[in-house]
Amino acid sequence: MHGTFNAIGFLTRTRRPGRIDVTDVLSWLWLVGGTLAVLVPVLWAGLSSLKPEAEITRFPPTLLPVAAVQVEVQGYDKPLSLWNVTVDGETREMAMVRRIGLKAQVVDPENPGKPASVDTKSISPVQRLTVATENYSDPLTRFSFLTFLKNSVFVTFVATILTLIVNALAAFALSKYRFRGEKAIFVLIISTLMIPLTVVMVPAYLVVVGVGLVDNLWGVIIPTVATPTGVFLLRQYMLTIPDELIEAARVDAASEFRIFWRIILPLTAPALAVLAIFSVLWRWNDFLWPLIVLSSRENFTLQVGLNAFQGEFSVQWHYILAMTFLSLIPVTIVFLFLQRYITTGIAGTGMK
């Protein structure tokens, strides 16, 4: 209840107490517009993932998952779709036999006889709310979705743990040790941000081939462990930790690794949480690098596996939308657990 009142108070807060300013209106419009811009595509994808395959490409599109009603008609091998047909001001439900140009041939499903020709402008489909659960069940049972999911979880989890450890060690050395070339090394690391990924992709692939990690999940994990963004984020945060804490630990005969593990890491938890969120998003959504390194279907990650539903002449949008919507769940859970550290972690990187 207290959180509800805080939310209401935040939304109704104005620049001047008791008076609405132009900036208040612009702020509300910006917040509402930004929320809709993020929420509407996700909502649309979620509802579309419940639609039958034929309804996804229907124009004009519908928001809710509806589908045309099919009925069995005597004398016809396949079920026919029902349509509302208006003739002489009277509307009836008729089954469509075929459609040719601007004309459609329909029959009475209760008493089928010779098909009648009607104008397509006078008909509209009979639709009902239909949830296509097979969009989710088929990839889980007939395809290798669970294998793709397992590979993505393994790559994301292991790569995130290694990223936190490696980048934290580098940031600790660059923030708490004084040695010749310290600034130059830090500038060199940050400067790699300006190098396009496509430039280093071929050399990185040759290294992966040389060490025999092609078509191996470790070949996806190891080259992406060290990130200049992670080093910068953690170094800037560690600069805010007083050096006196480290000196006191050294006086107590603590080893350098013990200082790092027992003092620096716990105090850097907000920045580590932010880097963990970034790392999960990077690894979970990565498509190009796993596509280059992996060749066996049993090693595909989720993003590469989803590409299998896209053929040369057809795209199985109903499966792609369903599996994409499922793939949002793990990163959403991680974000919900770690979101309270985001503001603290990012704000702390610029305090010194």
- Higher pLDDT: 352 or 326? It is 326
**Which of 9-23, 181-195, 242-256, 267-281 comes out lowest in average pLDDT?**
9-23
- Cβ atoms 78, 70 nearer than 8 A: no
Residue 220: its pLDDT value, please?
Answer: 93
Structure-token pair, residue 11: 């939304």
- Cβ atoms 280, 156 nearer than 8 A: yes
| pLDDT of 342 above 50 | yes
Say yes or no: domain 144-309 is CATH 3.40.50.880.
Answer: no
Q: Nearest CA to 232 among 278, 285, 197? A: 278
Q: How many CA atoms lie less than 13 Å away from 64 in the CB half-sphere?
A: 7
Q: What is the pLDDT averaged over residues 26-38?
A: 87
Q: What is the pLDDT averaged over residues 261-266?
A: 90
- Cβ atoms 24, 16 nearer than 8 A: no
| pLDDT of 1 above 80 | no
Structure-token pair, residue 307: 């590409």
Residue 290: its pLDDT value, please?
Answer: 92
288-326: burial string, b at 16+ Cβ within 10 Å, e else: ebbebbbeeeebbbbbbbbebbeeeeeebbbbbbbbbbb
- Which DSSP helix (H) or strand (E) runs through 228? helix 228-238
Q: What is the pLDDT averaged over residues 58-87?
A: 79
Cβ partners under 8 Å of residue 143, min gap 6:
308, 319
Work out the pLDDT band at 124, boundaries 50, 70, 90: confident
DSSP output for 26-70: HHHHHHHHHHHHHHHHHHHHHHHTTS-HHHHT-SS--SS-EEE-E
d(CA 325, CA 182): 45
Structure-token pair, residue 53: 């395959």
Specify the amino acid at residue 100.
Answer: I
Q: Where are the domains of the chain?
A: 66-129, 144-309
Residue 210: its pLDDT value, please?
Answer: 93
What SS3 class is residue 119? Answer: strand
Predicted confidence (pLDDT) per residue in 241-251, tens digit: 898 989 999 99
Predicted structure pTM score: 0.75
d(CA 182, CA 188): 10
Residue 235: its pLDDT value, please?
Answer: 92
Output phi, psi for 127, to 5 deg: -120, 150
DSSP output for 229-282: HHHHHHHHHHTTS-HHHHHHHHHTT--HHHHIIIIIHHHTHHHHHHHHHHHHHH
- Cβ atoms 148, 302 nearer than 8 A: yes
d(CA 280, CA 199): 23
Predicted confidence (pLDDT) per residue in 292-309, tens digit: 999 888 899 988 888 877
Residue 182: its pLDDT value, please?
Answer: 85
What SS3 class is residue 71? Answer: strand
- Cβ atoms 94, 109 nearer than 8 A: yes
Place of tokens 């490409």: 57
d(CA 340, CA 257): 28
